[in-house]
Amino acid sequence: MRFDILTLFPDMFPGYLSQSILNKSIERGLVEIHVHNMRDWAEGRHHKIDDTPYGGGPGMILMVEPVVNCVRDVQAMTSEPGTVIVTTPRGQRLDQPLVEELAVNKRMILLCGRYEGFDQRVIDILKPLEVSIGDYILNGGEVASMVLVDSLVRMVPGVLGDEQSSWDDSFSRGNRMLEYPQYTRPREFEGESVPEILLSGNHGKIELWRQAKSLEITKKRRSDLLED
Ligand code: SAH
């Protein structure tokens, strides 16, 4: 799976990319991430990429020409142009089913907005998929892109130590519910002990207990997940 991230703040990425699962997946060749500075596509001595909004109002808007040129050049870097995704509060809200749908893509180009966002013509011309990570406002699309990358790489076969996780975790394709409670050593701490059944070695019973707990917490906290 290849990601091309288009941003005005490329330095936000190296720390995130060099850690844990992501770093290992990159080293093992399962995931490729290329970060591009959109400002490199802006003309003139000052590489101006933003301007004030027509009609007035606060803030600056990312200009259509450098952004569209940047996307087209980056698309042409490989034979597979990839799916263009714009991070925006107006987009389709990201959830695990959408993550699973997006995971069929071999290549994704992620556009990170800043300031007041992109000139509308970026959307009208490129016709990207617009994705929001939730009903709140971030300062930029960089963290939203990291959320996309982080959730998507888990879908790449070989990335997770145990493939089963991508089925069983909360919200995932295995059951779309919240996960049951988990425990590890010690058996008792400050008077709180691990449920007896988990120590029984009876896998059938443990599985039933976990299903029941999963249903219980989902009913209590997220009954909307049970509607389908
Ligand atoms: N003026 C815009 C918000 C701009 S926030 C509006 O009111 O809709 C600046 C940038 O941060 C956006 O262009 C987008 O790339 C990113 N961003 C902010 N909130 C986001 C969210 N909830 N999901 C995805 N991206 C978001």
25 C-beta closer than 6 A to ligand 1? no
144 C-beta closer than 6 A to ligand 1? yes
Ligand 1 atom 1: residue of nearest CA: 116
Q: State the pLDDT confidence band at 163, using cuts at 50, 70 and 90.
A: confident
Ramachandran region, residue 134 (left: φ > 0; alpha: ψ -120 to 50; beta: rest) = left
88 C-beta closer than 6 A to ligand 1? yes
Query: Of 11, 221, 207, which Cα lies nearest the Cα of 112?
Result: 11
The encoded tokens of residue 7 equal: 């941003």
Active site annotation includes 142: no
CA distances from 179 to 15, 78, 175, 212 (A): 30, 40, 9, 10
- 6-17 residue pLDDT tens: 999 999 999 999
- 100-159 residue pLDDT tens: 999 999 999 999 999 999 999 999 999 999 999 999 999 999 999 999 999 999 999 999
- Phi, psi at 107, each rounded to 5°: -140, 135
The encoded tokens of residue 142 equal: 């960089």
Rounded distance from Cα 219 to ligand 1 centre (Å) = 32
The pTM is what?
0.97
Whether residue 74 contacts residue 107, with contact meaning beta carbons closer than 8 Å, is answered with no
- 25-78 residue pLDDT tens: 999 999 999 999 999 999 999 999 999 999 999 999 999 999 999 999 999 999
